[in-house]
Structure 1
C-alpha cells in the first residue's frame, strides 16, 4: 500500500552544516583513548617487562650500576616502541572505521545525495529502500509496502509493516519496499544511542591468531624460565654469586622470549588492513585479515563484480521487429537502429510498438539519471543500474521519461523482489478513467502469464533464449488497461516486448580467474540471471565447468558442491551453497550486495560486500567491503592476507631461533669451560637490537612474488606447523654452533673470547634476518624498511666495541681487525645456510607446480 503526505523539501547544504554544528555528529559517544601514562603502565604490566623491573631492583640493591643502566635502557626503549606501535595501530584502525562507516541517502539542495551517516542531522529528508540501515530516528511521510526489521531493538524477529506517519528507529533495517522520512533524533538522542549510552566502551577483542600466539608465548615463557633456571643452577654449582646468576637468568628469559610478538602481530594486522584499504578493500574485522590467507573458494556474483557494473540496454524486441541501441554508458545521447535488413522489416523508434515498449520501461521504473558535474564528468545512475539503463534506452528512442511520469502519475506499485522476479506499477492516464498497468521481469516468470496479439508466446520465448545464450540479461515487459473499480492484479498482461541488457565483462576478469586457479582457489559464479547468460560469462572469463546448476536443481536436491556455475539463484539459496562447500572442508569467501545476501555473508568465512552498488545491510554484515566492486580487489586482499600470515611466521622463525641460540650458548658454554659466556647487559643489548626494529620490519615485508602461485594454507595448520619448528631448531642450533666455535677459536689464540661470543651471536641473527628478506618484485630493487633496520642494528651491534663509554658499560674489550673478520665469516654461515634452504625449497615447489600443470 502506498501512503503519502506532503513531502518536505529537505535541507540545503548550508542548513545541514549549521545543524551539524548545533546537534553534533550522528554517532554514539566513543570510549576515550587511554592517556599516555596509562599506555605506559599497560606496557609495564607485560610479564617480561616486570621481570626486567625486578632485575633492575635487584641490581640496584647490589650497587651493580652497569647492569642497572643497561636494564633501564632496555625497559625504556621497549616501552617506547610498544606505545608507538599501539598508537600507530589505533590510528590505522580509526582511519579504516571512518572509511567503512555507514552511509545514508538524503535530499540536499533538492536532489538525492549520499552522505556519511554521521553527517545526518535533524530535519534531513532520508530516502530509504530495501537493504538500508536506518541512520537515525525518522518519521515517515511516504511509504510503499515498507517493512522494517526491528529485532536489534525489540528482539522481535518478524518484520514490521510501516506506514505514514509511523516512526523508524536508528539501527533497524528496511527489509522491503521504499520510503521517505524526516529525521527526528540523531546520535545519543536516538533510540539506538540511548541503548549504546548504557554500555561501557570495550577494547577490541583479540583475533583468533592473536589468541593462539598468546598461548604460544605462555608455553615459550615457561620453557625459557625452566632453561634459564637450569643456567642459574649450573652457575651456582660452579660457585658463582647468587645475585649475579639471578640477574643472568632473568636477562636470559627476557632475551629468549619474543616479547615483541603481540605488538608485531597487532601492527601487522592493522597496517595490513590499512594497505588493503589503499587497494579498495575495507576490512571491517581484523580476523578477516588472517582468514583471507586460507581462502580456498571464492563465490562471486556476476553483475558488477566480474562485470563492469555499467548496464547497457543494447537491444529491444517487439513482435513488429527489433532495434539496437548505441551510445556511451548512461548518457542519454544515442539512437536506435534496426538490427535486421530493411528488406526484411521497416522499423524505427517512431513505430507504435517501439513507443509503447519505451513508454512502459520508463514508467515501470524507480531510477533516475544524474547529469555530469564538475567533479564527475559522466552520467551516473540514481538507484538500480538496470532501471537506469532502461531510462537511457527511452531517451535514445526520443522518449522523455520525466514528461511521461508527469502525464502518467503512479498510483500503486508492487515492487520488485528476488522471489517474484518482477515489478508491477499502476498509472493514471491523461483524459481516461482506466488505469495503465505495466509489469517487467524475468522472461520465464512474465512469459508464462502474458498474452500476445497473435496468441503465440513461443516466438518471444525463443528470442529470449537466444539473447540469454549470447550473454544478455533479458527483461520481458507487458501491460494492460484496468477498468475503474477492477481489482488490481497482475493477470492478463499483454506482451509489449523484450529488452536485452548487457554488462561488459571487466578487462581483468579472466586474469583474476586464472590467478585464483594458480593459487589453488576455486571460483564459483553465482547469478540470478538465466543459465545461458551465466554460461556465456563463465566461458568468457575461463570458469570451466560441465554445466550450469540452477535454483530449481538445488530445490530438487542437487549437491551445491558439485557445481561451479550457478544460475537463477535466489539470495536465500546462497546460504546453502556456502554451507555445502564449508562442509566439504573449504574456507569460503562470498560476495553479495542485497539485504537477502546478509545471512550468506555472515555464514561465509569471509563475507565480501559491494561498496558502490550494494546495500548498507550487506556492507555491515560483511568482513570485507569493496569500494570498487571489482573481484580483482578480492585477489589483492587474499594476497595481503597471505603476506601477513607469512610475515608472522617469518618473524617467529627469526625471533625464536635467536632466542634458542642465546639459551643454548648460555647452557652449553659452561660445559666448554666458559663460566659465563655473556653478561646480563650483553644479552639484553643483543636482544634489544635483534628483536627491535628488525623484528617489526619483518612484519612489514612485501608479499613474495610467488605468493599467489602457491596453494592456500590449511585452516587447521598450527602457527609453528608445516615444518617451521624444525627450521627454528635447525637455525638456532647453527647459530649456537658458530658462536661457540668463535669463542673456542678466540680462547685458543689468546684473544678475548667474550667479545667474540657477543659479536658472532648478534651478527649471526642479523644475517638470518637478511636471508629471510622477501625477494624483490621485478623492478623493485630499492631499499626497504628491513634493510634500514638491519643496517641500524648492525651499527648498534658494533658501536660498543668502538665507543669507549658504551664498551665500558657492557664490559667488553676491543677486537682486532683479524678477529672481526673471522667473526664476520662465522656469523655469515647461518644466514647462507638459511638462504640456500629457502632457494632449494622454492625450486622444489616450482618443479611440483610444473608437473601439476602438465
Structure 2
C-alpha cells in the first residue's frame, strides 16, 4: 500500500471543512451592536437630542461603550480559542509516496490512505483496506456502545474512533460530504447558549422587553398629557424607560465568560464550549481515572516472576509486546526490556482493549499466548491469582503471561507507576471545597486502593470490584457510588453508567480521562475534562482540555468557573434591582400622572457610580463560592423587594422635598449605593475602597459647581438622607428574610 502520489494529492478534493472555534469578526460585531436594547436606547437618544437638552443624552454613550467593550473582550477570547485549538488538534497519519507522514486534518484528500491506531478519530468516511484486530467505536454516531470489528472492505464513518488494534482505510468522502463532518466543529464550537445562567439572563431580557413596551407607553402618555413643555415630557418619559433597561447585563455576562476563557487559556486549559465554565462552578462530584490522572503517564517494567521454568517467557513477552503496531503503555514498558525475538511471526492478533483487559497473539510454530489482567485470565483458585493480588496491594500494576492453549499462567509481570507529585495537594483542595472525589479505574481493585490510600483519599482503602456491581439497577448502583470512593476493574460502559447514576442523585459530575475507554463517560458527564496527552478521541468530546497535562491545573479551572458564575449573579442583582425600581416608579408616575422624579442625566450619574463601574470590577473579581442551581428565582428574591423599596423611598423623598429632583437623586444614590455594598459581600479591602470611591465621586458631583450645574443638582436635604438610610435598612432586612443576603 503505497498511498497517493504527490501529483494525485495536488489534484484531489481536500477535507477543508470550515472549522470555527469562535464566531467570526462580523458575527461578533453584529452580536454586540445589533441588539434590541441598543435599538431602543438609540431611538430614545435621538428623541432627547431632538426635543431635550444634550446633557440628558449621556445615556446614549452606553451603546458605544457596551459595543466596544463586548467586541474587544470577545475578540480576545476568539484569539485565545483559535490559538489553543490549533495546539490541541491531533495530526492525522497518512501514507503518501510510499512513506508515512503526519498532516493537518484539513489536508486530507479524497483517496488518501489513512493509518489508524487506538484512540485515533476518523475525520472522513472511508473503506478499510487493512486490519490488524481493528475495532471501531461508533457510539457517538449510533448510540451503540459495543466496538465493531472491521475487516478489509468494511465501511467506516467520520465521527467514530478506533479503540483497539490498528489498520488503514482509504478516504471515500471528505469535507462536507463526510457523514459527520460537523462533529468535531460542534465539539469545540464557541457557544454562549444552553446553560441555566444564559437561559436565565435571556428570560429576564424577554420579560423586561414585554414590560418596557406598555409601561413606557403609559409613562410617555402621562408625561405628555400633564406637562405643557413637550421637551420636558419627553425627557421624563425617557428617564423612566432608559432606567428600566438592564443594558449592561448581557454585556457583563459576555465579558465574564470571555475573560474566563482568556484566563483559562493562559493556564493552558482549552475551553471548547463556553457553557463549560458554568459547569466548572457547579461540580460537586469529580470522577478521576487513576492511570494518567493520579499517576504520571507511562510505566516502567518492574519484576518478572517466573511461574514455569520450561516456558520461553522472555521470547513470548518480547513477541507479544512488539506484535501490536500501536502498543499501549504496558506494551511499551515491556518493549523497553525485551526485544522482538527472531522467528516469532504473529499469524493472528487480538489487540488489547479496555473492555477485554487482555491481548493475545498466535505465533507460527510457537503457539498462542495472552497477556492481561490476572483476575481476568486466571482462575481464583490458582496460586498465582493470590500472588498477583498481594503484589497489586502494593500499588504495582500486575499482568499475567499465559499459554492460551493450556490456559496456564507462566509468569507475573509488575509495572511501576509513579503518583503525580501534584496529586495529593490537588485532592486536598477538592476536599476543602466540598467536591467529592471518586476514583474509577480499569486496574485491579487492590492496585487502585493502594494508590488511593497513599493519596489519603477518604475511604480509599475499601476498593469495590466493579464486576460485582448490579448491571441494570441504576438506583442500587447510585447507592453504592454514594457510599464508596474507589472502584477497580471498571469497564468503559460502566464508567458511563457511573456518571448517569450519580447524575440521577442530583449531582453535577465532572469526569477526567485520557484514554479511549473514557470517551463515553466524558461525553455524558456534565463536564468532561481531558488530559492534553490523552487520545484524540478523548480530547474531541471533552469540554475542557488541560493542554499541559497538569493535574494541578484543575483547582484553577474550577475556581475560574466559580468566579464567573458568582460574579454574574452579583451584577445581575444590581442591574435587575435598577430595572424593578424603574418599573415601579414608571407605573406610579404613569397612573398618577405626576412628573418623573429624576431626569436621564441623574440616572446616568447614579447608575454609573452604583452599577456600571462597580459591576465591571465585580464581574472580574476572584471568588471561591460554589454555584448552585436556581439562579433566576434567587436573583428575583433579591431584586424585586430591593427594587420596590427603592422606588418607594425615591417617590417619598421626591414628594417630601416638594417635587425637588435633587432630593430624589440623593435618596436614590444612598439606597443603590447600599445595595452595591450588600451585593459586594463578603467585603475585602479592595471592595471597601471601590465602594468608598463611588461615594466620594457622588459627593464631588454635588459639591463641585461645574458638575452640580451639569447634572442639574441642588442642595438636596437631610430628609432625603434620612429616607435613604431607612430604605437601606429595610432592604437589608428584606434580603435577609428572602435568604439572599451574602455573608
Fold-level match, TM-score > 0.5?
yes
Corresponding residue for residue 340 of structure 1: none
Corresponding residue for residue 553 of structure 1: 468
> 1:194, 1:631 → 2: CA distance?
32
Aligned 1:511-522 pairs, distance under 5 A: 511-522=425-436
SS in 1 for 2:400: strand
Q: Return the offset for 1:588.
A: 1.9
Residues 114 and 274 of structure 1: CA distance in aligned 2, closer, same or farther (over 3 Å): farther
Aligned 1:34-183 pairs, distance under 5 A: 43=32, 45-59=34-48, 62=51, 64-66=52-54, 69-70=57-58, 72-105=60-93, 117-118=105-106, 126-136=114-124, 142-148=130-136, 162-163=150-151, 170-180=158-168
Q: Return the offset for 1:547.
A: 3.6
SS in 2 for 1:179: strand
Corresponding residue for residue 507 of structure 1: 421
Q: Return the offset for 1:440.
A: 0.8
Q: Contact 2:307 / 2:412 at 8 angstroms: preserved in 1?
A: no
Q: Contact 2:158 / 2:181 at 8 angstroms: preserved in 1?
A: no
Residues 790 and 269 of structure 1: CA distance in aligned 2, closer, same or farther (over 3 Å): farther
> Is residue 2:374 matched to residue 1:463?
no
Aligned 1:250-289 pairs, distance under 5 A: 250-289=238-277
Corresponding residue for residue 560 of structure 2: 640
What is the CA deviation profile of residues 238-257 of structure 1, one whole-angstrom value per residue up to 9, with x for unaligned ones? 54546643443333222233
Question: TM (normalized to structure 1)?
Answer: 0.71
Corresponding residue for residue 389 of structure 1: 333
> Is residue 2:189 matched to residue 1:206?
no
Q: Return the offset for 1:538.
A: 2.6
> 2:296, 2:544 → 1: CA distance?
19
> 1:626, 1:572 → 2: CA distance?
24
Aligned 1:418-497 pairs, distance under 5 A: 418-427=354-363, 434-435=365-366, 437-448=368-379, 458-479=382-403, 490-492=404-406, 494-497=408-411
Question: TM (normalized to structure 2)?
Answer: 0.80
> 1:240, 1:367 → 2: CA distance?
95
292-301 vs 589-598, which deviates more? 589-598
Q: Return the offset for 1:214.
A: 0.9
What is the CA deviation profile of residues 314-373 of structure 1, one whole-angstrom value per residue up to 9, with x for unaligned ones? 3221248xxxxxxxxxxxxxxxxxxxxxxxxxxxxxxx88x943433332125999xxxx
> 1:693, 1:657 → 2: CA distance?
16
Higher gyration radius (CA): 1
Corresponding residue for residue 599 of structure 1: 520
- Which residue of 507, 530, 541 corresponds with 1:586? 507
Aligned 1:661-700 pairs, distance under 5 A: 661=581, 675-687=595-607, 691-700=611-620
SS in 2 for 1:213: helix
Give structure 1 stretches of 5+ with no counterpart.
321-351, 370-381, 429-433, 450-456, 480-489, 847-854
Give structure 2 stretches of 5+ with no counterpart.
none
Q: Return the offset for 1:410.
A: 3.5
Corresponding residue for residue 191 of structure 1: 178
SS in 2 for 1:639: helix
Q: Return the offset for 1:305.
A: 1.2
Corresponding residue for residue 343 of structure 1: none
Q: Contact 2:93 / 2:114 at 8 angstroms: preserved in 1?
A: yes
Q: Contact 1:19 / 1:121 at 8 angstroms: preserved in 2?
A: no
Residues 267 and 77 of structure 1: CA distance in aligned 2, closer, same or farther (over 3 Å): closer
223-232 vs 493-502, which deviates more? 223-232
Residues 671 and 177 of structure 1: CA distance in aligned 2, closer, same or farther (over 3 Å): closer
> 1:494, 1:273 → 2: CA distance?
55
> 2:722, 2:95 → 1: CA distance?
72
Q: Return the offset for 1:498.
A: 0.8
What is the CA deviation profile of residues 416-474 of structure 1, one whole-angstrom value per residue up to 9, with x for unaligned ones? 1233321112345xxxxx2354321111233339xxxxxxx843223212101222211
Q: CA RMSD in A?
A: 5.1
Q: Contact 2:318 / 2:334 at 8 angstroms: preserved in 1?
A: yes
> 2:699, 2:243 → 1: CA distance?
15
Residues 155 and 592 of structure 1: CA distance in aligned 2, closer, same or farther (over 3 Å): closer
158-167 vs 553-562, which deviates more? 158-167
434-443 vs 223-232, which deviates more? 223-232
Corresponding residue for residue 326 of structure 1: none
> 2:355, 2:138 → 1: CA distance?
22
- Which residue of 676, 696, 712 corresponds with 1:812? 712
Q: Number of aligned pairs?
A: 730
224-233 vs 247-256, which deviates more? 224-233
Q: Which has the higher contact order (CA 8 A, sep 6+)?
A: 2
Q: Return the offset for 1:43.
A: 4.7
- Which residue of 517, 525, 530 corresponds with 2:444? 530
SS in 2 for 1:607: strand
